[in-house]
A and B are shown apart, each in its own frame.
Chain A
């Protein structure tokens, strides 16, 4: 409760601060930006850091676990989070919101899609894709040693969506089992190894992601999502994921007061799907370091980000 009270005061104060325009200068203490372990997030951290630095603020970067970071934002050890994915981090983020100390700074322009996904060559192995019925008919192609004669779908870590996948397989009566990978790295390793062998795989994936570039792949098409169709929302569970998930930004509740100018910019920042894809491609495809990729992105897209100042 105490934190909630603080939060409302902070929100009130922040609206005042914004209303009074930039009467107050930003603190020179560094704005702490977390870096996680995937490319677009790290590059975007340096891009946002670069934008903050361009108005004379100090920034520092700290490696952090992508789930644990929200607790740190609440405590003020980290100032912002710039890639809050709906289905993956929604739970951690909402828990932190309930506990207080963190503010929701709006969404990016980019919408996100998260669904069963297969690399392009699998389309040739199993004609009829991307429909889920066709996938189900090819289930034997996706068999593995541990899948007990059924097709295997490699899901993300259990804490990302938990029971949802199992519910869907059961509701649609699919000839598949789900195996939960332990990390995104495990997903990519499985994809890479399958591609070398031209082996059929279907894994959990999302977009924008580095897999959008290169040979690519497609999402499986499930029966369309409607509000309340999920089993956990009381529906029959015979539907896919929502087609457009949000990608949010979050900040420590004192940021509007301490760095009013930076907060205003952060509020305006809104990356599109192609922005995020480009940032990732500079590193994953062109082999640049994250810092260099960020510098290049800032130089190439000056018009975009100068607009946010």
Chain B
């Protein structure tokens, strides 16, 4: 008996045995509530949510609004006026930046009116010539980070221009230049409030969890209803998605600041504001900077999805070219998205690391040499562009703007590769496809679908209890119980089957690659760069090639998911292994272990908690991608989420379905976190 209580694996085996017995004992035909929970009042939840939100936007606190142009008074609600006001501010900021880069009239309209614009043709902001923007990027890079950064920023801008993607890229840039600072500031503010108030943190924590693990598609319709459609709506859904990691990292960073630093600040007589801005935040800057990096990555990762509700730019173009099977073009657009992400990330990092110049009393032209240089280039390029358009009025003006049809393109090359892949590998791929589908995937799906509710809940509760005691058991059972109460239990089982398969494969691939690459510092660097690239590379691009190879099938979806979900598994393995303290490794070597023993007995056990966090991320990533896999064609929760876009009570249904997906992720997240914390304590590295 003592052996049983002390060894968790035995408890787990016992749990599985009981689970199996339950599965066998419960008959689908007569099992009733034990097999699947029957219809209850709870099934009305989507309608309740839907009606509640509709009431909030359409009938709650009705106000009269006068429409000057149509000369009539309209009924509106306070909520609508508020959200529309907010949208207006966001939209104005995006348009302002966009029109400085690309030209336009909407900013002018904001201060005058459409009538004024129509009457005065001259009243528009002219677009900057692209060489001026490239020079600006180059100079900014040089100012903030020296030669390497300037080359990276300048070359990326030139790539975008030369490949004829100027308009969509600048649209995306203007979108990101608003969402990133907004998410950053919101994250910092919420993070500091949560740091100061325990209650606020307790309220915020579950909201953050849900916001981070809810599939984006489930809140697209609510955002459209509340905020309208357009760049602002895209921006708002992006902010919802990108702020949580910033908040988390701010809290984490502030908590890590050592009390001595805080006391030193107090002793120097800081007031609470100075303490915050001069002491705490600068000390926490390492984590806050990781937060900024995350915000930038997340904002660009949303570029494609935001285009479903009106965000213009690279994401939208990518979707259109994928839909016309233009894979080469989609790839080029994807590269531009990655470049923008990388450049912004490096620039923001360099900016944060830049020392304040205390020797400010230098002559004007030295202090402002970068601004002056930019002004000079701007004037020169504008004059050249203007002259060129005077001399050759009918010719395309490459020095001002390169249109999509005039840009370079490697499309043919990529299309050729894809063609070649399909014609030459199709047959061998087919036998693989057939084997996977009939021998592994279909039986696995059947097995999942044959799990009775009662047995599954028992398994979940038992796992929770073994891992984290009664508290964990209650938490995870509540998450899964919620799904069981909805009409979508079978759907959720299919999602779970796909997630299980994808996570197991990704973890095997990711950890192996991670372990191999961590053996050499150079490989470590390379693989981290690859991870960064793939994480921002729009995952939509994978969807079409996998269909061409594997058809519209679960296998296609799973391959796309595995490609995407292997990233965190690899990254965390590499990071975990390279963070093992050097002293411990040396201690091991001195005790005479060989390389393999050192890896197995020292490095892996120590890195294990960190790797588990990677697996946790893998689960979240796979769930996201499985939902996106609905674009290929699945029959799980994702299909219903897509369907809810066109349904009358779509808002409520989408949100409840989104919660189901989020709760699967959160249940796993809870178990892994609890377990990793315990391990860390045991290993003394908490």
Measured CB to CB, the residues of A under 8 A from B are: 2, 27-30, 34, 37-39, 42, 56, 58, 62-65, 67-69, 71-72, 75, 77-78, 89, 91-92, 95, 98-99, 144-146, 154, 157-159, 179-186, 188-190, 192-193, 196-197, 254, 257-258, 283-284, 288-289, 292
Contact = CB atoms under 8 A, between A and B. Distances in A.
A181 B556 CA distance: 12
Nearest to B80: A75
Nearest to B226: A75
Contacts of B544: 185, 189
A190 B551 CA distance: 6
Given A63-B307, A75-B225, A95-B648, A145 B434 contact: yes
B553 A145 contact: yes
B229 A77 contact: yes
Given A189-B325, A197-B426, A284-B324, A75 B228 contact: yes
Contact of A182 (B69, B230, B434, B632): B632
B66 interface: no
B553 A64 contact: no
A146 B310 contact: no
B633 A186 contact: yes
B630 A182 contact: yes
B75 A196 contact: no
B404 interface: yes
Contacts of A99: 648
Given A63-B307, A188-B323, A72 B552 contact: no
B547 A144 contact: no
A283 B310 CA distance: 22
Contacts of A159: 642-643, 645-647
Contacts of B548: 189-190, 192-193
B632 A62 contact: no
B547 A190 contact: yes
A56 B320 CA distance: 29
Given A38-B324, A62-B229, A146-B554, 4 more contacts: A63-B308, A91-B647, A98-B648, A185-B544
A289 B58 CA distance: 40
A145 B642 CA distance: 25
Contact of A91 (B312, B554, B646): B646
B553 A146 contact: yes
A258 B422 contact: no
Contacts of B221: 68, 71
Contacts of A190: 547-548, 551-552
B309 interface: yes
Nearest to B327: A189
Contacts of B312: 62-63
**Interface residues on chain B, size class:** 35 or more
Given A182-B631, A185-B323, A78 B229 contact: yes
Contact of B646 (A27, A92, A197): A92
Contacts of B404: 289
Contacts of A71: 221, 224-225
Contact of B635 (A65, A180, A185): A180
B229 A180 contact: no
Given A145-B438, A192-B548, A185 B325 contact: yes
Nearest to B640: A158
B220 interface: yes
Contacts of B630: 182
Interface stretch (B113-121, B339-347, B370-378, B513-521): B113-121
A28 B118 contact: yes
Interface centre among A28, A63, A98 (most CB of B within 10 A): A63
Nearest to B426: A197
Contacts of B629: 182
A289 B168 CA distance: 13
A126 B643 CA distance: 34
Contacts of A182: 552, 629-634, 639, 642
Contacts of A56: 118
A77 B552 contact: no
Nearest to B547: A189
Contacts of A68: 220-221, 224, 229, 308-309, 645-646
A180 to B, nearest CB: 5
3 nearest CB pairs, A to B: A28-B114, A145-B437, A193-B548
A58 B114 contact: yes
Given A28-B118, A29-B114, A196-B423, A64 B229 contact: yes
Contacts of B5: none
